[in-house]
Structure 1
């Protein structure tokens, strides 16, 4: 059976941020912590060793694979800061057009620093992601 690596833990979010090597990334992590907490209305929790997540939902795919994941989150990684929003939401791509300097992967949006992005669009992405996931998974 597949074992999910990214699970909610009891590790300290503040301790994790304090251990981020780059002072600038650490500063951005605190800014993001404030923005995500205020916008999502959820308390920050560590998911796995390096993702700061907000809220959670239970998903189940047609394949039978299921698990729990944060509604939104971020991770101040060495190269870039990863932002986690819902995939499969068409409004995400629309919002990203006005987001600022970023690159996108399948599940992540990568930024170099908070100063590169439009914080109002970030807040809209957080709200839209939570709404989309709650409508998709919590109303089943």
Structure 2
């Protein structure tokens, strides 16, 4: 039996979510990321669950369980209190190859963590977002 997807698009206004981010540095960086992601993707931001601002969608198939499919944003971010979480930058081979040029970051299983935008190369970020946004639906889905 396929698992029920927990994180889905909502009707929450992403601009209000970003405006409420704390501390102030997270809000400022979140506003900058919203502008960058919107420009690069040509997509309007959509809230996914309570804390992810996502751009575009694709259908995925879980590598561990092919019966587990769902939708997910192609790229996105979350201005979390401790750091920025950025999604979709390293999932495709081209993005993984370019990622070391981003600057100062750490990696989680599905995202890249950045303390502040000044720590990374914003032109490389734009390239990574464009690569992530080129993702197609998984053909197995």
Given that 2:61 and 2:140 are in contact with CA atoms closer than 8 Å, whether structure 1 keeps it comes out as no
- Number of residues of Structure 1 aligned to a counterpart in Structure 2: 138
Which position in structure 2 is the counterpart of 1:73? Answer: 76
Aligned ranges 1:1-140 → 2 under 5 Å: 2-61=3-62, 63-85=66-88, 87-131=90-134, 133-134=135-136, 137=138
- Deviation for aligned residue 1:68: 0.6
Given that 1:99 and 1:122 are in contact with CA atoms closer than 8 Å, whether structure 2 keeps it comes out as yes
User: Can you list the C-alpha shifts for 1:26-76, whole angstroms capped at 9, x where unaligned?
Assistant: 000000000000001110000000000001111234521011100100001
Q: Distance in 2 between matches of 1:118 and 1:105?
A: 19
Given that 2:105 and 2:114 are in contact with CA atoms closer than 8 Å, whether structure 1 keeps it comes out as yes
- Runs ≥4 residues deviating over 4 A: none
TM-score (norm 1): 0.90
RMSD, matched Cα: 1.9
TM-score (norm 2): 0.90
- Deviation for aligned residue 1:15: 1.1
| Greater alpha carbon shift after TM alignment, 88-97 vs 122-131 | 88-97
- Deviation for aligned residue 1:87: 4.9
Summarize the Cα distance change of 1:18–1:138 in structure 2 as closer, same or farther, 3 Å threshold: farther
Summarize the Cα distance change of 1:60–1:3 in structure 2 as closer, same or farther, 3 Å threshold: same
Q: Distance in 1 between matches of 2:132 and 2:139?
A: 13
Q: Distance in 2 between matches of 1:81 and 1:75?
A: 6
